[in-house]
A and B are shown apart, each in its own frame.
Chain A
């Protein structure tokens, strides 16, 4: 028995972390968030490391790894607040294409980092008043809001019956939507008899794609929260008030201890949820829901508490702590806010109608 990461996985994690530390530091994140630099170059560099190809089988030019490996990558990206289309193009997109079958050519382009797939599933998770997508005769109509990984070549769209479709960006109206999280481009799709490739009508496929996405967001939050905790601990050791490091004040210590106490068990939870996606199918949905919701809560607590440990400095733009704060906030709402996801968890156990 070995509940944990293998040597190869730890090595992969270390490689990715040191690449991101060296090449995609906070200054670069700032430039991308400010629109002074495009995030595309980052994705090209990550593709060279194989990050875009993780879940694509070797026969299609991929690395053929498992969702747990993808979760490890997601954690690293969260830790470094890296702007990248990982969620759609490396996880949810390939997962959908693999389930649909017969999409070898697209998978090859995804693996190479040449094709980007954005995610428009929000309406099938929790449709807001202004939005909703219907499918008929190979065409899609309606509107998809808060599309993830906006700026893609193609979009994975779910209709109101949880069928999955693929549409080309060139075939529809779309526009960016400004959100608080500047490193994660978000947008709106307007579908008017838009031609679509019908990938699947099976709601289980929709669910599998969504579960994979949720586990990645949980892993991303794990990384982001760990970074905020690390920064808070380091700051508490350096910053002095009343002639002593603030980390020697118990109020500060206990804030840090509470963050660690909540976060540490999350690591095992994310590992298991990632593992379950491919290896324990009967538990995959429930653990994905709980990982998503629980990490959202713990992440939110850490986002505020780590900021608080930094005092006024935490509130400023100088340290850039807010990039992680906003990243965690984004992950909380994307693909289902905690209340919604917990309700799904209850349904999965026949505890709710």
Chain B
């Protein structure tokens, strides 16, 4: 057990801190993702290697060698200082790593620079009405017509489709192949004729995701990532990135501190909620679990550095992290009782009503990115080696 990052890393940490204190007044605070402030900040971060750190310079990045510890230090320091760590989103977190892995040289040059600079915003078109957990059964079809794919079908739950410039989309191009081998990964503009976006209001009351309809949408032939029929493998390589980021215990830690503050300031009959043993015990229970996940995360970090196997420890993160976060938010609401119901415009709102928002939002994350049940299937089959589900012959398609 050696928990020190070492002198050179501590020097790097000092650099990051200096940067943050020198520039923090330029950091955006809730401005829109297209605002000048956000875009300038992103550029500054990339120039200093605090965003797009390992993206090669040829694609507009900083071009550093991948190093888990420096990435971790950057994340820690920006989080501690509560300063924006730059842009995220599905383009940066999912598409860019995919293009680096399997994209063509032209695709990398065309898409990576504007994406990491926030000038090209993406949405992820995977799920369909008939294909959620069983994503590989998706039906949106793309047929090659001359130099263009012609796309027809429907996506659903497409987050930020209404804000995006482009979509990375799974489509069926080989209708006669087995279901996992008939899928391709296409990139196209969201203003292409034939795309209709219908917002879906979610339980928080906002419309952050959408239904997206495609009618004869024409996509240049070369905008396919990987080969025809390999879209499933292409998509799967990044689903893993998505999952790991959904249960981040470091974010949970700062949320736990917010919960402690809330319980120290809310009162019932003049007593602080934290002074009521039943509530306090729930808080401590959650703190113990947050701690366990935090140490698990250190173990994973160390396993990556030292190339040790900790695959089971990694597989449990999405399940445990999102479930725990949902429970944490629940305690925030319970600590406020009826006040915890306040939502929207209400003079008694605490923390801008974000306990209710997060409580619902994390239920969304329990479902999105592979539901908790699907995570359990993965843990039991791939982690513990239990037998796979027996296959059931496809219904209508098989008998028709």
Residues of A within 8 A of B (CB): 1-6, 68, 233, 236-237, 244-245, 247-248, 250, 252-254, 256-258, 260-262, 264-269, 271-272, 275, 279-280, 287, 290-291, 293-294, 297, 339, 342-343, 345-346, 351-353
Question: Are B389 and A248 within 8 A (Cβ)?
Answer: yes
Number of interface residues of B (CB under 8 A): 53
B291 within 8 A of A: yes
Note all chain A residues with C-beta closer than 8 A to B386. Answer: 233, 236-237, 245, 247-248, 252-253, 256
Question: Are B376 and A258 within 8 A (Cβ)?
Answer: yes
CB within 8 Å for A287 and B291 given contacts A250-B389, A253-B377, A342-B281: yes
Question: Are A2 and B1 within 8 A (Cβ)?
Answer: yes
CB within 8 Å for A290 and B288 given contacts A253-B377, A257-B377: yes
Question: Which of A233, A265, A339, A353 counts the most chain B CB atoms within 10 A?
Answer: A265
Cα distance, A291 to B6, chains bound together (Å): 27
Closest to B317 in A: A265
CB within 8 Å for A257 and B289 given contacts A4-B299, A265-B313, A268-B313: no
Note all chain A residues with C-beta closer than 8 A to B389. Answer: 248, 250
List 16 additional A-B contacts (Cβ < 8 Å) besides A261-B376, A265-B293.
A1-B69, A2-B1, A4-B1, A6-B1, A248-B386, A248-B387, A250-B373, A253-B380, A265-B292, A266-B292, A268-B296, A269-B291, A269-B295, A275-B3, A290-B287, A346-B284
Give chain B nearest CB distance to A343 CB in angstroms: 7
Identify the stretch in B141-149, B226-234, B303-311, B345-353 within 8 Å (CB) of chain A at 4 or more residues: B303-311
Give chain A nearest CB distance to B254 CB in angstroms: 16
> What is the interface of chain B mostly: helix, strand, loop, or mixed?
helix
A293 partner, pick from B6, B288, B301, B385, beta carbons under 8 A? B288
Question: Are B289 and A294 within 8 A (Cβ)?
Answer: yes
Note all chain B residues with C-beta closer than 8 A to A346. Answer: 280, 283-284
Residues of B within 8 A of A (CB): 1-6, 69, 260, 264, 274-275, 277, 280-281, 283-285, 287-289, 291-293, 295-296, 298-299, 301-303, 305-306, 308, 312-313, 316, 319-320, 373, 375-377, 379-381, 383-390
Give chain A nearest CB distance to B69 CB in angstroms: 7
Question: Are A342 and B285 within 8 A (Cβ)?
Answer: yes
Question: Are A3 and B384 within 8 A (Cβ)?
Answer: no
Cα distance, A261 to B373, chains bound together (Å): 12
Question: Are A352 and B280 within 8 A (Cβ)?
Answer: yes
Note all chain A residues with C-beta closer than 8 A to B275. Answer: 352-353
Cα distance, A264 to B373, chains bound together (Å): 18
Cα distance, A236 to B385, chains bound together (Å): 10
Question: Are B316 and A3 within 8 A (Cβ)?
Answer: no
